[in-house]
Amino acid sequence: MRKKNLKSWWKKYRLLIGIYLLFLLATGKWSYEKWLYRDVLEWPSVPAKLLAHGGGKFAPSTVSRFGRSSPSIDTRYFLYEYEVDGKTFRGSRIGPNSDRTIAWSRNGVLLAYHHPSKPDVAVLSPSLYEGFGWGMTAFLSGIVVLAHWIFEVAPFLLGRRKE
């Protein structure tokens, strides 16, 4: 009898449990990255060396009749190396928001902006973290969680609804 009740309970609540887990994952991921990249605009920068990039599209800067052009790089896959306090680190993140634009210094040097206390965390293009994907996932799943609490859990806890 208990096994049958457990099966029926699982069938009834498995989608809701999945939504709760999605809400917790998205909220946790968004909060962690918001905290991690909170001061990204003030991170120190060091020269970086491009090791690999995806797609095979690379054109160094050129001078045309319209002026100097910036390098063109396919950034679907990106790997760079930088050095902080004598230790070498590798990074693949372009920006906190999965940016596709790389910030080059005025003399054409690639710069890696690294976290002051976690030098293994770096970006090439610092910008404020928006986290639209994780934030929207947390928001939408949070609506379902809130509705469940308002219409199911609260009445049950207040004794107005029986299982």
* pLDDT value, residue 128: 86
* pLDDT value, residue 97: 80
Average pLDDT score, the chain: 82
* pLDDT value, residue 12: 84
pLDDT at 34 over 80: yes
What number of other Cβ atoms are within 10 A of residue 9's Cβ? 11
* pLDDT value, residue 103: 62
Q: What percent of the chain has pLDDT over 90?
A: 45
Interval 28-55 mean pLDDT? 89
pLDDT at 67 over 70: no
pLDDT at 90 over 80: yes
More confident residue, 44 or 109: 44
Q: What 3-state class would DSSP assign to 18?
A: helix
Interval 140-155 mean pLDDT? 92
User: Largest alpha-carbon pair distance within the chain?
Assistant: 83
* pLDDT value, residue 87: 96
Check if the beta carbon of residue 66 is closer than 8 Å to that of residue 145.
no
Distance of CA 28 to the CA centre of its chain: 11
pLDDT at 18 over 60: yes
Q: What 3-state class would DSSP assign to 28?
A: helix
